[in-house]
Amino acid sequence: MRKAWGSPSGAAVRHRDTSRSLFCSAVPAKALKVTPALIALGSNLGDRRSQMIAGLKQLSTLIRTRVVDVSPLYETAPVGGPDNQGAYLNAAALVETHLDPKSLLEELQKIEKAQRRERIVRWGPRTLDLDILVYGDLVTDDEDLTLPHPRMHDRRFVMVPAADIAADYIHPGLNQTMGALLAALPVEPGDLTAVEADWGCSFIHPTTTEKAT
């Protein structure tokens, strides 16, 4: 069993059902005076799994940031965007960071660029997509960054991975837990399939070592 972020303070504790075998091995997570954030990962171009691994690996090496938990990997049907897109791989990562939200966004965009992400068509296919879903209890809406992510609570391909690792995290704008928001979404047959449970376990940092600047 491992501590789950039930709120930005990390006060709530959720006990995992290990019989599901959908999670990484237990890792002690000492609370830090830093900000928790949920990051969504997705890919539907090229070698999708390799793109996801590369993205998570780079995320795990970000300065003043550590990966606390990673959801299982899911294959999902595309939502919105051009017709005839290929299926996505999707996951979520819970991080602790000293970076402010815009700096974190800039670092995520650098990772996307390193994986040859091109922004041509809205919601179009992409080699790697990294989105900040929530950043602590911050609510903001400016030109560069809207938090929480404005469509996350409507998308099962986002909410299922997020609830896997942070079911009790309270959505700052809606004041409901990730688990409750997921439970309210209708299930479409075949929209989401778990394909790999422990794909990201090696990138979880079990200690609170802060990377040097």
Cis-peptide, bond into residue 78, ω within 30° of zero: no
Residue scoring higher pLDDT (78 or 121): 78
Q: What is the pLDDT of residue 81?
A: 61
- Rounded CA separation 129/181 (Å): 22
Residue 70: strand, helix, or coil: strand
CATH for 34-196 (3.40.50.2000, 3.40.50.1860, 3.30.70.560, 3.40.50.970): 3.30.70.560
Residue 25 clears pLDDT 50, i.e. is over it:
no
Residue 15 clears pLDDT 70, i.e. is over it:
no
- Rounded CA separation 138/148 (Å): 7
Residue 120 confidence class, pLDDT cut points 50, 70, 90: low
Percent of the chain residues past pLDDT 70, beyond the cut: 75
Q: Please tell me which residue in 117, 155, 164, 168 is annotated as part of the active site.
A: 117
The segment with the largest mean pLDDT, out of 84-98, 103-117, 152-166, 197-211, is 152-166
Residue scoring higher pLDDT (119 or 44): 44
pLDDT in tens, 31-48: 445 899 999 999 998 899
Write the CB contacts of 30 (distance below 8 Å, at least 6 apart in sequence).
Answer: 207, 208
Q: What is the pLDDT of residue 206?
A: 65
Per the prediction, the chain carries an average pLDDT of: 82
Percent of the chain residues past pLDDT 90, beyond the cut: 63
pLDDT in tens, 177-188: 999 999 999 998
Residue scoring higher pLDDT (77 or 194): 194
Q: Is 2 marked active-site? A: no
Across 160-200, the runs of DSSP E, i.e. the strands, are 192-196
- Where along the chain do its domains lie? 34-196
Residue 117 clears pLDDT 70, i.e. is over it:
no
Q: What is the pLDDT of residue 108?
A: 96
Q: Please tell me which residue in 14, 69, 129, 156 is annotated as part of the active site.
A: 129
Residue 113 confidence class, pLDDT cut points 50, 70, 90: confident
Residue scoring higher pLDDT (212 or 70): 70
Q: Please tell me which residue in 14, 126, 155, 156 is annotated as part of the active site.
A: 126
Q: Which tokens is 56 given? A: 């998570």
Residue scoring higher pLDDT (104 or 2): 104
Q: Is 131 marked active-site? A: yes
Q: Is 129 marked active-site? A: yes
